[in-house]
Chain A
Amino acid sequence: MGIPGAPMSAVADPNVLVKKNYVTALKEALFEEMASNPDLICQGEDIGILGGAFGVTEGLQAQYGNARVVDMPISEACIVGSAVGMALAGKTVMAEMQFIDFISCGFDQIVNMMATYHYRTAGEVNMPIVVRGPAGAYGGGALYHSQMNEAWFCNAPGLRVICPSTPYDAKGLLKAALRDGNPCIFFEIKELYRKREIMEFLPEEDYAIPLGKAVIRREGSDITFVSYGQNVYHCLQAAVELEKLGVRAEVIDIRTLVPLDEDTIFTSIAKTSRLIVVNEAPMTCGFAGEIVARVSEKAFEYLDAPPMRITRLDTPVPWAKPLELHVLPSVEKLVNAALKSVKF
């Protein structure tokens, strides 16, 4: 499955260069930033000798040594807390969570220590730290290897929250995050890590994607899907199905939740008058609700139908396939919701 409407990378000759997957894009970002920023330190569980549970840091320690690529004891709180200390001493840190589910073990250090540091010190101290890790369901990972807990961090002022859906974005956003100077929580979609269908050419030259800029993955005039992460692909598939039924759906990938590109969303709704927001996280107090709230407050007059949320049910992510698929957003759920919206 390709990404219609996705910005193509600036590569002229596919015979010379190869398409790259999402995990390779991340790896390139880390290698390049380690080379250009001698103050960058990477740390996490199994990231050095092993090269990371998913191989994102493969070869990094061999190239940059075990002082800058650090195998940490199993303590997410310490991985984040020591990163805070390094940042206080002038370093930039990439802190890997082996699974984003485990980030809860480092929660206090993230929301109370790291997120507030710049605020507490009236701008004296910056926290150039990227806490990144594999996230997301649909892979049979069950309760503790499937989470999308991004909403927790959107509710903690001081954190950037980022979730790329393509290799190009994975590399460009990770570079931007590592240069941003603010603490970032970076959600990688592990189901996309090695997905062949989304491999793409990456620019040879250095690039970073500005945080807070959404991208329109598919243009349409009848209804707007807003999503991020792997649900973007469900939206795109739903748009293909809907087109067969005469409904032209626009698909927006917000890419960063904090900061949020409201303008791209509002501009789309001004055209389509209908909105469905899709995310994998549970519905109650999820980020889909935040987008619906902002649209209701600031773009109400554009709407011809109630904005809708298609999210995980308010349940954990269960293991057995029928259970997992039952609670998650699906193409079928999106098509049905869109048809309901256009008939309103």
Chain B
Amino acid sequence: MSRNSGTVTANKATVTSDVPQLRPRDLLTKDDCLELFRQLYLARYFDVRLIKEKRLGHLTGTLYSSHNQEAILVGSLFGLKPNDWISPIHRDMPAFFLKDIKFDWENPERMGMSIEQVCSQVWGRVDSPGRARDNWSHIGSKSKHIIHSTSMLAGTIPVAAGVVYADRLNGGDAVCITFNGEGSTAQGIFHEAINYAAVHKLPVVTVIENNQWAYGTPVDLECPTNDVADRAKGFGIPGLVADGQDVFDVYDKVMTAVEYARAGKGPSIVECKTFRAYGHGDHDDDRANRYRPKEEIEAGRTRDPISICRNNLVALGYLSAEEAEKHRADGKNATEAKNEDFPPEVVAYLSKGIDFALKSPLPAAEEGAKWVFREPQ
């Protein structure tokens, strides 16, 4: 097991800052907690269903699974205000519809994408927000405050910094969360952009999904510090470490950073320790079972975020033992999990998106040559 291990249940801030004594989770209601649980199922089901669709030959293109990492997305996004910005990357596909989804899954006006839009993108149809011009997670929305990523990792951090710089000039109080893998923290632009954000105390929260593997390279060969969050020390900003399997710990740490940013104190790095369930993309699944030690894979997948959340909810008295046993998607991989393992509203929600996408046409061929430049005004 690497020293920068995903199994560490870390609960510390490597740079002390004015962290409030009351944890953000202490202000969550029972309904909030149950919604978090439901969203974990939704993110998991999205992953499971797409893997099944791909295996049935219904999908082309590479899938980048977020299996086992859902608590990071759900816990990071839950506390944001609608006007806040996010910048997801390849393993964060559920983030597009999870943004601002809280209790309002069907609202087309909410500041997040509809499931129909996201599915249209996955299927490469014209109703994708980007009209299927770039693939997979390379979508976004200016009006919904979602930054469009490229394949160049960490490349959206300066963009995020620019967005909130402009927002602040306009008198806004928006925060931007950028999601990144631990591998991308070796990129120059990661450091250049966070340095700039720290100089200007810009409200940028850099969430690091440390899943221990950057494609085929382990974290020990990517980052020399004990925690990736230690990189924050060089910028004089908080570097928090969260247990990426525990949605409440992610929520605590990210919300601490978000409130710090919103208060004008500047950026933070929040490292969420987790473990990548499958290959880098589904093309890599078989090889990932060979280049990663079997014991490491087994250990890394013992702490399913759905199980951990369920146990917390039972302990809080928010779920009865009977309710807790209802849907057992956790611990199952995509081929094992069935629709009955998920709440029916989760299955219905995604199915509706897929049905829409399948009816959406492919873009007209001539669109390939459009929008290189802005149309003359």
Contact = CB atoms under 8 A, between A and B. Distances in A.
Interface of A: 41, 67-68, 72-73, 75, 77-78, 80-91, 108-109, 112-113, 116-126, 157-158, 160, 180-182
Interface string B4-17: 00000000000000
Contacts of B196: 72-73, 75, 78, 82
A67 B200 CA distance: 10
Given A73-B199, A91-B166, A122-B371, A85 B161 contact: yes
Contacts of A78: 158, 161, 189, 192-193, 195-196
B141 interface: yes
Nearest to B373: A182
Closest 9 A/B residue pairs (Cβ): A85-B162, A81-B158, A82-B162, A89-B166, A75-B192, A85-B163, A85-B159, A122-B131, A86-B166
B141 A86 contact: no
B160 A113 contact: no
Nearest to A93: B162
A77 B130 contact: no
B95 to A, nearest CB: 17
A73 B195 contact: yes
Given A73-B199, A77-B158, A81-B189, A117 B148 contact: yes
Q: Which of A75, A87, A157 has the most CB of B within 10 A?
A: A75
Interface string B112-153: 000000000000000001110110001011100001101110
Given A88-B162, A109-B158, A118 B374 contact: yes
A121 B139 CA distance: 7
B372 interface: yes
A72 B199 CA distance: 9
5 contacts: A82-B158, A109-B155, A112-B152, A122-B133, A123-B370
Q: Which of B155, B163, B192 has the most CB of A within 10 A?
A: B192
A132 to B, nearest CB: 17
Interface residues of B, number: 43
B286 interface: no
B159 A81 contact: yes
A184 to B, nearest CB: 11
Given A78-B161, A89-B170, A108-B189, 9 more contacts: A67-B169, A75-B192, A80-B158, A84-B162, A85-B161, A123-B371, A125-B148, A158-B373, A180-B374
A77 B188 contact: yes
Interface of B: 129-131, 133-134, 138, 140-142, 147-148, 150-152, 155, 157-167, 169-170, 188-189, 192-193, 195-196, 199, 367, 370-375, 377
A123 B142 contact: no
A112 B151 CA distance: 9
Contacts, number: 136
A117 B374 CA distance: 11
B193 A121 contact: no
Given A109-B158, A123-B370, A89 B167 contact: yes
Nearest to A105: B188
Nearest to A84: B159
Nearest to A75: B192
B371 to A, nearest CB: 4
Nearest to B143: A124
B140 to A, nearest CB: 7
Contacts of B373: 118, 158, 160, 182
Given A86-B163, A86-B165, A119 B371 contact: yes
